[in-house]
Amino acid sequence: MMVEKTDRDREAERRKRQQMGIARSVAFLVALVVLAVWMQQRPRPPEVLSVTPATALDDEFRPVEPTEVFGPEDTFFVSVELRNYQPGTLGARWLYEGQVITEMMLDTTDTGDGYAGFVLRNDDPPWPAGQYTIEITYRGRVLESASFRVEP
């Protein structure tokens, strides 16, 4: 036996579908707002403006004499200019001819714009001649790098 729907039944179904559509739209908008708030609160990585090898660093970690060439007995100084730095760990990965020599971390609570400095000394000189690279990392991600040479 077939039951025919009345106008009242059809109207009730239409209202129910409309309410479900509104509920889905509201839920979607709430999810978008939550996502937007979460994205705003996530710390953004600092921006590296420059990575500068130098013969020395000043008290603010700025490069004193930028250079691309070091001698075999020299100490390597590198100045990193940062924007939007957040508390965390800034890293330096030093490479010689593509092979990792060492890695070092700089933990800080500083924020904002400024400079960070990294220094690498050779306890058993001389440095071998060739191409060196320093990679600046933040939370494991390489932000920027710079290369320099050691010449006899």
Residues 58-74 have pLDDT tens digits of: 999 999 999 999 999 99
Cα 97–chain centre separation: 25
Q: How far apart are CA 49 and CA 63, in angstroms?
A: 13
Same domain for 105 and 31: no
Neighbour tally for 57: CB within 10 Å: 20
Same domain for 141 and 68: yes
Q: Rounded mean pLDDT of 93-99?
A: 98
Same domain for 99 and 30: no
Q: Rounded mean pLDDT of 102-127?
A: 93
Structural domain count, the chain: 2
Same domain for 92 and 31: no
For the cut 80, the answer to whether the pLDDT of residue 38 exceeds it is: no
Strands 76-85 and 47-54: antiparallel
Q: Rounded mean pLDDT of 110-129?
A: 95
For the cut 90, the answer to whether the pLDDT of residue 123 exceeds it is: yes
Same domain for 101 and 81: yes
Q: How far is CA 12 from CA 2, 5, 6, 19, in A?
A: 19, 11, 10, 11
149: left (phi over 0), alpha (psi -120 to 50) or beta: beta
Range of the domain at 15: 1-42
Query: pLDDT tens, 127-147?
Result: 999 999 999 999 889 999 999
